[in-house]
Structure 1
Amino acid sequence: MSVPAQAEKVRNLASIAGVRSNQLVGYGLVVGLDGTGDQTSQTPFTIQSIKNMLLQFGVSVPADTNPQLKNVAAVMVSASLPPFSKPGQHIDVTVSSIGNAKSLRGGTLLMTPLRGANGQVYALAQGNMVVGGYGAQGASGSSTQVNTLTVGLIPNGASVERSVPTPFDHGQYITLDLNTPSFTTAARMARAINQAAGPNTAEPMDATSVRVTAPAKAGQRVAFVSFLENLEVNPAAPRARVVVNARTGTVIIGSNVRVLPAAVAHGNLTVTISENPQVSQPSALSGGQTTVTPSSSVSAKQQKAHAFVFKPGTSLDSIVRAINQVGATPDDLIAILEALKKAGALKAQLVVI
């Protein structure tokens, strides 16, 4: 039985090649902590950073001085620079401790340059952090904690200083990259664009990319991409797949999974071995010795096997219903699916994670 097609907009199926976010990272200092910062005796890089910072403000710390600060923590700052970001706009940043600070709650991040993969500075981060958690510790050493206290967020905490050029407004074409590679979806998308924008406007390049002829002017190209994003395409049906998490016993079965005619019997065999040593005590004045004699008992118990008969084209609902009726566990379901796969009766990809 075929799966009914459901139209999706192009913007939900593909993205424009080259229009992407860029990762930024930087090293900085968080100050103003309430005694929960780095233990500077164990984190020499924190002391070095403090000395370098103070030197920029004209404060010289003697080389043989080791300030024992508890309100400072060395951190790594990370952010994602969205496409088309312009100087002056703000982005969120994440601050993570790299030393042995106990908590960043209540701290303030000092101005930190954020660099891209090419080493250039694209944003400057600074501000008060929001830490989604709390912790408390008593004098006896007992403590409690909710969430992670060494990672914080600064909403709009970085200002963009440099924009990243994109190939969006260059060249004769734009390329639509499918989120899920599929030859069928690529062909259908190109056909829908040609029907709406004219013949030979779009051409599928492979299972991932569709090349589209676009206007040269930036304003016209923006309007054209907006038009493309709202076109509706019937994507290809997803591949039949069964995902099994062997650690947690979680099984996810796609709605289009089918099986060939098969019969599966599944049961459990439990073998129990008990040791009951006996003490042999000789009678008085017999001259014998007390000894321990082994005594073992072995029992085997086999649960009633459950037989499952699947007809041709049996669907997900039928499989789950049959297994639930006999009270099978997730482990039983995993064993049944593996047996069907080995027998060649499972018409789906079995993925074990």
Structure 2
Amino acid sequence: MKLISLTILALVLLSAPLANAQRIKDVASIQGVRSNQLVGYGLVVGLPGTGEQSPFTEQSFRTMLSNFGISLDSNVKPKIKNVAAVAVHAELPPFIKPGQTIDVTVSSVGEASSLQGGTLLQTFLKGVDGKVYAVAQGSLIVSGFGAQGGDGSRIVVNTPTVGRIPNGALVEQTVPSGFANGDTLTLNLHYPDFSTAKRLADTINERLGAQPEQGYAIATPLDAASVRVTAPRDIGQRVGFLATLENFQFEPADAPARVVINSRTGTIVIGQDVRLLPAAITHGGLTVTIAENQQVSQPNALADGETVVTTQSIIDVDLADSRMFKFEPGVTLDQLVRAVNEVGAAPGDLMAILEALRQAGALRGELVII
């Protein structure tokens, strides 16, 4: 296996970047190098009467006391309105070492009205394998607050039942990583694309002087999401190799032609490669208004008659300004937006227009509704 000299790697960085290029570190990640989720269950104490009196909180409180050699009679029900049962979760970053600290988030799992002013007692944070990877403890920072009146009225600002403890967990052990194993590393694209994977591999081979046509390729695309890269076995050289590699710039392939519609917020995003086939669209509306007016009909004083109430109906028909616009072949995003703005279509109307264009087969692009 041929090893890449770090001196050569440093020199290739001097070449000029592409116009629309991105760094490899911004579009891909190393397979196996990831964070891990941790979760635990604990107690928050010291609350100013905003805790809870739930069965599982009482059981947890009794268990905590028994761990310190204190036993409560089963008939004694402690009043623990200053205690709350909480769930604690955190993210264990890759390569973090024992003795370092991570942030934790604490959330109430019972009826506690606020965690303001509370302190989390020692809580074990476990991974998916059931092992303890960190221990959390400390005073909570809670941004929200709540207030309640004697008549039951209540006001809540933000979320007083969730708090954070910066550097609140001490890491006890690390998660094994395959970063230093084997002769290769795999780069996984954040957005899988065959063209982008091919360009990524070609860029690495070109910048490092590899010659795939002669059977010597440093980078090989595996599929639309992964590129396998030959890396030095020595861990120090591997770190330097990746430090150089992740700053290589290349131009990813264009994203698929796509129109994304959020029907709840009225947000519409149209990709730059969306095109329209020849089509004609008309937009307008017919509004019919019926008003009933009550009038009093009173006969002449000399005439023989009775005063009655009559109804007068007024029907008003309002035909909105309806315009038709025509799309020529290959209409671009700018032309589409300009035409719709001239018609005066609202976001809801534009959604209907785009859906009708897709049904007519005139929209060249994927329509995604979220």
Q: What is the Cα deviation at residue 138 of structure 1? A: 2.7
Aligned to 2:266: 249
**Alignment correspondent of 2:5:** none
Please give the per-residue CA displacement for 1:109-153, whole angstroms capped at 9, x wherever unaligned: 001000000000000000111112222223333332211111111
Letter in 1 for 2:168: G
Shift of 1:63: 0.9
Distance 2:40 2:311 in 1: 69
The aligned residue for residue 157 of structure 1 is 168
AA at the equivalent of 1:32: G
**Alignment-derived partner of residue 211 in structure 1:** 228
| Alignment match, 2:141 | 130
Gaps of 5+ in 1: 279-292
Matched residues in 2 for 1:59 and 1:34: separation? 24
Deviation per CA, 1:219-260, whole angstroms, max 9, x where unpaired? 011111111101111100011111111222221112222212
For 1:111, the aligned partner's letter is Q
Q: CA deviation at 1:270?
A: 3.5
CA shift in 2, pair 1:247/1:276, >3 Å = farther
Q: Which residue of 2 aligns with 1:26?
A: 40
SS of structure 2 residue aligned to 1:169: coil
What is the total number of aligned residue pairs between the two structures? 335
For residue 200 of structure 2, the aligned residue among 164, 189, 194 is 189
Partner residue in 1 for 2:356: 339
C-alpha RMSD over aligned residues = 2.2
Partner of 2:21: 7
Q: Using the alignment, how far apart are the partners of 1:65 and 1:296 within structure 2?
A: 78
Q: Counterparts of 1:1-353 in structure 2 under 5 Å?
A: 6-38=20-52, 40=53, 43-197=54-208, 198-199=210-211, 200-271=217-288, 301-353=318-370
Q: Which residue of 2 aligns with 1:282?
A: none
Report the Cα distance in structure 2 between the residues aligned to 1:161 and 1:298, rounded to whole angstroms: 79
- After TM superposition, give the deviation of residue 319 of structure 1 in Å: 1.7
User: Does the Cα contact within 8 Å between 1:87 and 1:161 map onto a contact in 2?
Assistant: yes
How much does 1:295 deviate? Answer: 9.9
Letter in 2 for 1:343: A
Task: Quote how far apart the aligned CAs of 1:320 are.
Answer: 1.7
CA distance in 1, matches of 2:20, 2:245: 18
CA distance in 2, matches of 1:46, 1:273: 63
Check 1:67–1:276 CA distance in 2 against 1; reply closer, same or farther (3 A cut): farther
Indicate conservation of the 8 Å contact 2:283/2:343, yes or no.
no
Gap regions ≥5 residues in structure 2: 1-17, 212-216, 296-309
Runs of 4+ in 1 over 6 A off after TM superposition: 273-278, 293-299
Shift of 1:75: 0.4
Which amino acid letter does the alignment assign opposite residue 188 of structure 1?
A: R
Which 10-residue stretch deviates more, 61-70 or 137-146?
A: 137-146
Identity %: 58
> Secondary structure of 2:37's partner?
strand
